[in-house]
Chain A
Amino acid sequence: MENERFFGVNWQSMDARMPPEMNSGAAAADQLPNSFLNLGWEQPMHHDAHFESALSSLVSSPSSNTPAGNDSVIIGELIGRLGSICNSGEVSPPSRYQSANNSCYSTPLNSPPKLNLSSMDHQQQGRGGVPVPGNQMAAGNFSPFAADPGFAERAARFSCFGARGYAGLGGQFGLPEAGKLSRVSSCQSLKAVLMGASDNGKEVPVLEPERPETETRSKFGGEAEFGNSQEASSVSDRVTAVGAENNARKRKAASKGKAKGAPLSSSNKNPPKPSDGENSDAKRCKPAETDGADKDAAVKPKTEEKGDVGRKQGEEGNAKPPEPPKDYIHVRARRGQATDSHSLAERVRREKISERMKLLQDLVPGCNKVTGKALMLDEIINYVQSLQRQVEFLSMKLAALNPQLDFNMEALLPKDVSLCILFNPLGQLPQQVYPLDMASTAFSYAQQPQGTPLQSIVTNSLDVQGSLNPLESSLRRPPTMQLPRLDGFADATSQLGNLWEDDLQYVVQMGLGQSQGTAFSSQSMPVE
């Protein structure tokens, strides 16, 4: 139904427009006389009500289907919510991914957009009625978009919207970090869609020439909303990087200025000639398309590897009927895919899972060559097992290497947090090792008559346990890593007396066994 698709277009354009619109202000709004949602995107993030009103107006005008209207309202709310979320600046998911996977997600800003774009591509006519599965991620994505100063400018260049918003949207993905793959595919898919839905396409080309920018932006932003889990992210990571720039350049060249867009749009606006518009769109997209054709081919297998992408662009386009309205999950149904809410949700989840598998793949060395979920899982499992075995082996080695190294389990209880970080990989390791070293050195110190605080301690204590003193004092040192000063020593004795107990017990038992307790107690006294 054209309404939904129409709405979807608006949706996308709206989304894409959002970030740039925030910068450009009302200018873009004026450019869209049509009652598109774009109007509402003037201040998308900030004025939910505004958006919703625009949304409803948009919905009401073109659509005659109440279901679509309801969806659009829902969508509007969601968009508003997303905007608010975006404003709140949620970036935890991206950061997480970033931390987890440097290679793939080195730039959280990049990855989510890629994901979104790709997803957009996959699901051609974004119903727009799908809530963002990774809402937070989408929100996080918005901020990068909004912050992108060059966004509007870049989007403006992608005026290959002209007649078909989709086509233009496709070109929009020329943004380097965007899913280039998605761009190419979206262009093609859009064309196919347009071809196939000539009757529906009438509404689509209503977009003004300027709209391409907004559409591109909105689409871009809209995709940003889409679940970060969109599989295309990884795909785009690999494939799009290659042809992205080329595509972008070509798109820009092809869509040179809105001048082209104007005639196109005008021509497209004429319902009787959707084909013309399509052709023009086709021409527009062609440069990018040809450029990306091979990439698309490369991309396709990759995208399809993600399970059931099956994005048969073009082939099914003509035969594909307009998709029924979806629920408000911000996922676009792919071509040839079932579009009921259940399968949509499933698809979203699957994409999320695939994305995480990609993450794992990057973590686990040697997993890149393996394809297929089962094999990859195998590799991951083997790697985790090997790591665990290594830990065990190393612990065994440590035990064998240093007979004096041991831990008092009671001391490892949570109450002594600061002390139980021997194996903290954050680098505090060396500190804990020093007690062992210090013990030996302190031992030697004790032998030589020196005016060090240490010696004074030693001399003060009983000779029998004299050997323990340096050990204990050195053990006490780990937190400070310095020789305790005599002047300050007495002051700290009381505290140290208690501290020693814990220190000594849990850090290291130098195999001195029973004497420790006695030396310990005797030690604290003379020190005072």
Chain B
Amino acid sequence: MDKKHDHRAMFSSERGHDGLVERSRRIKMAAEMGLARSSRGRHWSRALHRRLLRRKGATRGGSCGCKDEALTSSKAVEELGVGENEDDAVEVEARVHALQRLVPGGEELSVERLFEETADYIEALQGQVSAMRALACLLDELERDKRVMGG
């Protein structure tokens, strides 16, 4: 996503601390790897795993799963049952596509599978966020204690 890159660029330029950006990226990758591993059975986790490995092994940029969008073309929207009018259908389809891009491995999923994976992915993300927050909190305390003790 562009946002991420901008964020990183901003960070590095402001801080002049390239290591920060790099490290954060690695941390994030480790987080994602943990995420992928902890939810092994899921399609999105496998796709995420694949993506991470690919990113690590060979710097093949870009998202991975642009495999088969045939499954999720207009038929998906039609399945959604959006029969109100054309505009709605188009809107919904656009959002479905957006969701597909968000969820790893979502491009090749049918709409109903996509929703399933999204639900699971959301749960996993929530868990990861809370875990990282806890870690940050803990480290924060450690730092503070160290400073207090050492200082």
Name which residue of chain B comes closest to A362, CB basis.
Answer: B119
B71 at the interface (CB under 8 A from A): no
B61 located at the interface, meaning its Cβ lies under 8 Å from any Cβ of chain A in the complex: no
Instruction: Choose from B34, B130, B143 the contact partner of A402 (Cβ within 8 Å).
Output: B143
Cβ contacts under 8 Å, A407 to chain B? 26-27, 29-30
State whether the Cβ of B53 lies closer than 8 Å to any Cβ in chain A: yes
Q: Which of B7, B37, B102, B133 lies in contact with A392, CB distance below 8 A? A: B7
A32-40, A291-299, A412-420 - interface stretch: A412-420
Interface 0/1 of A372-416, CB less than 8 Å to B: 011001101101110111111011111111110111011011100
Convert B114-150 into 0s and 1s, putting 1 for each residue whose CB lies closer than 8 angstroms to a CB of A: 0110111111111111111111101110110010000
A402, B19: Cα distance in complex, Å? 12
Report A-chain residues with C-beta under 8 Å of the C-beta of B78. Answer: 346
- Most A Cβ at <10 Å: residue of B83, B88, B135: B135
Q: How far is the CB of B150 from chain A (nearest CB, A)?
A: 9
Residue B80 at the chain A interface, CB threshold 8 Å: yes
Q: Is A148 interfacial (CB 8 A cutoff)? A: no
Kindly supply a per-residue 1/0 record for chain B positions 12-40, scoring 1 wherever the CB is within 8 Å of any chain A CB and 0 otherwise.
Answer: 00000001110111111111111101100
Are the C-beta atoms of A398 and B24 separated by less than 8 Å?
A: yes
Instruction: Kindly state whether residue A301 has any CB partner on chain B within 8 Å.
Output: no
Q: Which of A86-108 contact B (CB under 8 A)?
A: 96, 100-101
Pairwise interchain contact A356-B115, C-beta atoms closer than 8 A: yes
Chain A residues with CB under 8 Å of B79's CB are 346, 349-350, 353
Knowing A388-B125, A391-B28, A395-B132, say if A381 contacts B98 (CB, 8 Å): yes
| Interchain nearest-CB distance for A243 vs B (Å) | 27
The answer to whether A101 touches B30 (Cβ under 8 A) is: no
Determine whether A488 belongs to the interface, using a CB cutoff of 8 Å to chain B: no
Q: Interface-forming stretch among A10-18, A247-255, A278-286, A429-437?
A: A429-437
> Which residues of A are found within 8 Å of B95, using beta-carbon distances?
374, 377-378, 381
Chain A 417-459 interface 0/1 with B at a Cβ cutoff of 8 Å (1 = within):
1001111111001100100110010000000000000000000
Quick check: A384 and B112 within 8 Å, CB to CB?
Answer: no
State whether A374 touches B91 (Cβ < 8 A).
Answer: yes
For residue A412, which residues in chain B have a CB less than 8 angstroms away from its CB? 29-30, 33, 52, 56
Bound Cα distance A400, B15 (Å)? 10
| Nearest-Cβ distance from residue A473 to partner chain B, whole angstroms | 19
Q: Give chain A residues whose Cβ lies under 8 Å from the Cβ of B99.
A: 377, 380-381, 384
A423 vs B34: C-alpha distance when bound (angstroms): 5
Q: Which residue of B lies closest to A411 (CB)?
A: B30
Q: In terms of DSSP, what is the predominant structure of the interface of chain B?
A: helix
Report A227 CB to chain B, min CB distance, Å.
Answer: 11
B51 to chain A, nearest CB (A): 13
Given A377-B95, A405-B139, A409-B56: A423 touches B35 (CB 8 Å cut-off): yes
B98 contact set on A, CB distance < 8 A: 377, 381
CB pair A390–B129 under 8 Å, yes or no, is yes
Bound form: Cα–Cα A229–B79 in Å:
13
Q: Using Cβ atoms and an 8 Å threshold, which residues of chain B touch A413?
A: 53, 56
* Residue B3 lies at the interface, judged by CB distance under 8 Å to chain A: yes
A376 vs chain B, min Cβ distance (A): 9
User: Is A359 at the interface (CB under 8 A from chain B)?
Assistant: yes
Q: Which of B98-113 contact A (CB under 8 A)?
A: 98-99, 102-103, 111-112
B116→A401 contact, CB < 8 A: no
Q: B residues touching A (Cβ–Cβ < 8 Å)?
A: 3-4, 7, 11, 19-21, 23-35, 37-38, 52-53, 56, 78-83, 88, 91-92, 95-96, 98-99, 102-103, 111-112, 115-116, 118-136, 138-140, 142-143, 146
- Contacts A383-B122, A398-B27, A409-B56 aside, 5 further interface pairs with beta carbons under 8 A come to A359-B116, A402-B143, A405-B27, A422-B30, A423-B34
A-B contact pairs, 18 of them (CB 8 A): A307-B81, A350-B81, A353-B80, A353-B81, A380-B122, A381-B102, A384-B118, A387-B129, A395-B27, A395-B132, A396-B7, A398-B132, A399-B24, A407-B26, A407-B30, A409-B56, A412-B33, A425-B35
Q: Which residues of A contact B (CB under 8 A)?
A: 96, 100-101, 229, 306-308, 346-347, 349-350, 352-354, 356-357, 359-360, 363-364, 373-374, 377-378, 380-381, 383-385, 387-392, 394-403, 405-407, 409-410, 412-414, 417, 420-426, 429-430, 433, 436-437, 440
4 nearest interchain CB pairs? A425-B127, A350-B81, A423-B34, A356-B115
